[in-house]
Chain A
């Protein structure tokens, strides 16, 4: 994509701001599933890069972390006292 300005040619590369996520395969699947279950306006994954990396909207870090923490706690057995 090229654009002209006062006779000079500029290169227009597209740059999108967001958050790069790196994790293991099961966790990646969990995040993709979380994304799929959200309503269209709240979907946060911009690109799925490979099975351990993805690029998501900015400002969702805290939400993802708290969901993962809840998932971890749901899967934890605590001996009843």
Chain B
């Protein structure tokens, strides 16, 4: 199966890949420095704090002395990360030895943060103005609902009852790799699209935000400012109301887009309007591995291949339809079965057995999640994987068949040449025949031409 994967990397990797000048400008914002600090590996955090008030470059050798011998690999990882993010600047001193110094902009911002404390550019509004503030549970439910509505609109716009306000051009940006737009047909999910649907919410959020930021340059919006505002947003408190008047026009546009995705909730009162950050917004500065926000699973798979999903969400129904035959929907339950046809359909669309199995395992209902294995192995190993293997019984590679070698030396030489280019598929030393991949054929032919 082709290895097409959507890699959802987090903010920090995106920040690290920015140009040096832009990164330095980002570091003028204290919150970004704090977010970066939080995302560093523990040893790197220690180094930054230790070097924070040192103005002169410090020899790399001195830093190495801070670690015990068995911590050398962790030390390397920490230093590499710090240099990659331009938090540490590398230089060479007069004795030609490597030195490190904290990035001056970063240093100033972080020092200011430590001394003066971090205050958000806005305070939450007093409670006499903010009426009808949602409870935290309501807010979380709202965020989840918005996100699911957005996903549903992303993949099958016809099924949505209340379409969101996202501009169609922005939707097209998100759909770029997920849907294939053909002229006369309805848009279909691509392989990446299927894999996207089976990822967990955090990974999906990263993908969308990443597309949003990379598209910003095309729309004439400065990516650094956008990232800066989003990181600032992630430091706000969930559930607190912040006045819209404290936002610039630029920020107001972004808040409107983010409201459609479920990252903030907009509300209007008699005396003003405000926005409330949800859990999705504060997740922006977290790394992918911190999935402490594990949503509750809802799928039970039984040994008779029946699937029971305790959910009312249309999105879940669509996802289950990807690889199972949905039979009926009750008020709180979706019932279906995993059949050969439904699986073959999934395989044809580029979904692998592993993706299906890990989706079922990650979303297992709490009642069965404790059981080992959470999805019966007669379903996973003995059927889903077997059916996938059945489709791949024959492997075909375009190749060239070589025979009539004049001597054993030439034959062995040609074999070695093919092996070097990873193209030797088969050889018979007795008959002096070999089969080489077409990609390597050119190199073997060149090798033979050079023989005399």
Contacts and interface: CB of A to CB of B under 8 A. Distances in A.
Interface of A: 1-2, 8-24, 27, 31, 46-47, 49, 53, 55, 58, 61, 64-65, 68, 72, 76
A47 B451 CA distance: 27
21 contacts: A1-B406, A2-B406, A8-B452, A9-B452, A11-B406, A13-B405, A14-B403, A16-B400, A17-B400, A18-B401, A20-B426, A21-B394, A23-B393, A27-B394, A47-B433, A49-B435, A53-B426, A55-B401, A55-B435, A58-B398, A68-B393
A50 to B, nearest CB: 8
Interface of B: 340, 390, 393-406, 410, 414, 425-426, 428, 433, 435, 437-438, 441, 445, 448-449, 451-452
A20 B425 contact: yes
A55 B397 CA distance: 10
Contact of B390 (A8, A58, A72): A72
B404 A14 contact: yes
B390 A61 contact: no
B393 A19 contact: no
Interface of A is mostly: strand
Contact of B394 (A15, A23, A49): A23
Contacts, number: 84
B449 to A, nearest CB: 8
Contacts of A15: 400-402, 441, 445
A12 B404 contact: yes
B445 A61 contact: no
A11 B435 contact: no
A27 B397 contact: no
A15 B445 CA distance: 9
Nearest to A21: B396
Nearest to B397: A20
A12 B240 CA distance: 80
A18 B437 CA distance: 10
Contacts of B414: 13
A61 B396 contact: yes
A68 B394 contact: yes
A58 to B, nearest CB: 7
B401 A46 contact: yes
A73 B204 CA distance: 37
Contacts of A23: 393-395
The residue in A20, A23, A24 that gathers the most chain B C-beta atoms within 10 A of its C-beta is: A20
A21 B393 CA distance: 10
A-B pairs with the 9 shortest C-beta distances?
A: A20-B399, A23-B394, A14-B404, A16-B401, A22-B395, A20-B397, A15-B400, A61-B396, A20-B425
Given A24-B393, A55-B435, A13 B402 contact: yes
A13 B452 contact: no
Contacts of A1: 404, 406
Contacts of B428: 49
Contacts of B399: 18-20, 55
A21 B425 CA distance: 10
